[in-house]
Amino acid sequence: MHAFDYHRPGTLKEATALLRKVPNARALAGGQSLVAALKLRLATVAALVDLDALRELRGIRLEGATLTVGALTRHAEVAGSKDVAIGIPALARLAGAIGDRQVRNLGTLGGSLANNDPAADYPAAVLGLGATIVTNRREIAADKFFGGLYETTLKPGELIVSVSFPLPKRAAYVKFRNPASRFALAGVFVSESAGTVRVAVTGAGRDGVFRARAMEKRLSERFEPESIAKVRVSPDALAADLHAGAEYRAHLVTVMAQRAVAAALGGH
């Protein structure tokens, strides 16, 4: 690990000022990805701006038809929240299956989204629910937030403050996970709300999380697992690595999507 300066601001204003002022400064949330990258020298920074003291970025609120989760809310807090269990139980179950106990007690929603790992779970939930990412500067619709691998539309000095999730009629997330890392080889988040169906896929895309539009169309006509039994995403846009080939991932996406629909219908 290369040497760097360390800052621990007490307010969001102080944090954003540091990120603007210090060249090559990076925000540190839970540190589950960034610290590992620094240790392996896959990333270098001039300074870390630790956000842990920013209590204003924590918390969960269920108000009307919207569930708002602060950017620094831990995965374990989402998994154990009564408000999340009432509003979007699929989100609570997703958070409870991220990594292991240590990761869930340190990793944060905002950190996961800003990192945008192509196999992470939260991007599927955000895209699959049509959530809105609220930053210190603006509001960004989920469809406009994610870029390519490890890329988002966040600007320099821009920090995620919270995420607003509209409550769905029903939703579910199912993933086929790597047994070692628990990252998704293919994970599918399905939601139905007011006649609108969204299907988001993580772990399989060559460029990260994406929506399966053909599946959405079929499920909008009939929300049943059988509706998408023969719908297959093209392997041309899917990842291939030592864990799974593109053809296998294409098969997994259809299987996981069917299971997600069945889970949503069954309330599981």
* pLDDT tier at 190, thresholds 50, 70, 90: very high
CATH 3.30.43.10 positions along the chain are: 5-50
For residue 182, what pLDDT is reported?
85
pLDDT value for 267? 60
Note the pLDDT of residue 1.
Answer: 76
Tens of pLDDT, residue by residue over 12-68, are 999 999 999 988 999 999 888 888 888 888 888 889 999 999 999 999 999 999 999
CATH 3.30.465.10 residue ranges of the chain are: 58-266
- The whole-chain average pLDDT of the chain stands at 94
Q: Give the Å distances, CA to CA, from 200 to 16, 50, 135, 203, 244.
A: 31, 31, 22, 10, 19
58-266 CATH pick, 3.40.50.2000, 3.30.465.10, 1.10.150.120, 3.40.50.300: 3.30.465.10
Measure Cα distances from 111 to 51, 68, 83, 162, 232 in Å.
Answer: 10, 16, 21, 11, 31
Selection from 80, 91, 103, 74 nearest residue 182 by Cα: 103
- Estimate the share of the chain in helix, then strand, then coil, as percent rounded to the nearest 5: 35, 25, 40
Using CA atoms, how far apart are residues 228 and 230, in angstroms rounded to an integer? Answer: 5
Which CATH number does 5-50 carry?
A: 3.30.43.10
What SS3 class is residue 261? helix
> Which alpha helices (H) appear in 198-245, and where do they start and end?
213-221
Can you read off the two tokens belonging to residue 132?
């809105």
Does pLDDT of 8 surpass 60?
yes
- Say how many CA atoms lie within 13 Å of 254 toward its Cβ: 17
Whether pTM exceeds 0.75: yes
The string of pLDDT tens digits covering residues 138-179 is 999 999 999 999 999 999 889 999 999 999 999 999 999 998
The predicted structure's pLDDT at residue 232: 95
pLDDT, tens only, 221-268: 999 999 999 999 999 999 999 999 999 999 999 999 999 999 999 964
The answer to whether the CB of 70 falls within 8 A of the CB of 60 is: yes
